[in-house]
Amino acid sequence: MIRRPRRTVPATIVGLVLLVAAVVVAISCIQLIAGIPPLVAFRTLAELGRDTTWNDPRVLAAGGILSLVGLVLLACGLLPGRPQVLALAPGDDLTAAGISRRSLARDLTSHARRADGITDARVRVGARTVTVNARTPLRDRSGLPELVRELVTERLDDIDLARPARLRVTVTSDRSA
């Protein structure tokens, strides 16, 4: 079970560009019908199109830039994104199950905060790495990273991800205390 994010950014960019182009053309057409000088002079565009050749450097540059933008948007749409749901190890009945990155991060954060001497913790869940950044008001941090690692490892063992995650734990002094 791998749920991938939607590609809303490329779709939004293309949609907004097309919307702006459509609005400009519609305004120009309405102005032309009303007898007002249009925002975009169609006669000037027609003359520009008639006088411009394929070998014109401006046409080649614009074509190259538009091709590059199109390839980038196409790659954004085709390449898979970061999975939002991490697969859990299959049980006895081979049922597929998963946990979202946010849920896992919140759960591991609450377990990391249970360690004595830890005031705050932040957990980032990557594809194969879980990073725990914990804060303590204590000057002597000896033993705290091991304690946080033990608590988070126990919880990761309980959750039983399909791909075991590598755990990184850092404990820093809380400067505000």
Q: What is the pLDDT of residue 87?
A: 83
Helices marked H in the chain: 8-34, 42-51, 57-78, 101-112, 144-159
Average pLDDT, the chain: 86
Q: Could you give the C-alpha distances from 67 to 11, 18, 175, in angstroms and in order?
A: 17, 16, 51
Ramachandran region of residue 96, left (φ > 0), alpha (ψ -120 to 50) or beta? Answer: beta
The tokens describing 84, both together, are: 């939002």
- The strand pair at 120-125 and 166-173 is best described as unpaired
68-113 tens-digit pLDDT:
988 888 887 777 777 788 888 887 776 778 888 899 999 999 999 9
CA distance 45 to 53: 14
Rounded to whole angstroms, the Cα distance separating 104 from 156 reads 9
| Sheet with 120-125, side-by-side order of all strands | 120-125, 129-136, 166-173
Provide the pLDDT confidence category of residue 1 given band limits of 50, 70 and 90.
Answer: very low
Domains and CATH numbers, the chain: 8-78 (no CATH), 85-173 (3.30.300.30)
Tell me what pLDDT residue 131 has: 95
One-letter amino acid for residue 47 of the chain: E
Residue written as token pair 């039983």: 160
Whether 144 shows a pLDDT value over 70: the answer reads: yes
Structural tokens at position 19: 């919307």
Which residues fall within 8 angstroms of residue 123, CB to CB, at 6 or more apart? 104, 105, 106, 108, 109, 112, 130, 131, 132, 133, 152
Whether pTM exceeds 0.85: no
DSSP-derived pairing of the beta strands 129-136 and 166-173: parallel
